[in-house]
Amino acid sequence: MPGIGIDIAEVKRFRRLSRRFLNRVYTDEEIAYCNKSSRPEMHFAARFAAKEAVIKATTKTDIALKDIYVQNRASGAPEVFIKGKKKKFHISISHTKDIAVAVVISL
């Protein structure tokens, strides 16, 4: 059944993240991608918002955040996957220096 989810995250909450939190929420590839940026907190916040939006779009609360992963296509557009699932999504992510937002439509 199609669904929609939206989430917003404050960037400042992602400035100082513990290794434990990072490893519980993000894949190694997501951590590497975010840390390549001069403002990694914006990317961590955006990916966190995307993961939360996926949960809302699927209405499944038993999905581990780390099993939801966001990667970028060659064009730079984000795409999202759930480990072990073939579910398809449309995703839009945006951020400013203060907030990150994600909208996900599950197909």
pTM: 0.93
Catalytic-labelled residue, pool 36, 43, 51, 56: 56
Calculate what percentage of the chain has a pLDDT beyond 70.
100
**56 part of the active site:** yes
Q: Which residues of 10-35 are buried (b: 16+ CB within 10 A; e: fewer)?
A: ebeebeebeeeebeebbbeebbebbe
Token pair for 39: 């403002």
86 pLDDT band, cuts 50/70/90, is confident
Catalytic-labelled residue, pool 43, 85, 86, 95: 95
Beta-sheet pairing, 99-106 with 3-10 = antiparallel
**43 part of the active site:** no
DSSP state of 48: H
pLDDT digits (tens, 9 = 90+) for 20-66: 999 999 999 999 999 999 999 999 999 999 999 999 999 877 899 99
pLDDT of residue 1: 76
For the domain bounded by 3-106, which CATH number is listed? 3.90.470.20
Domain positions in the chain are 3-106
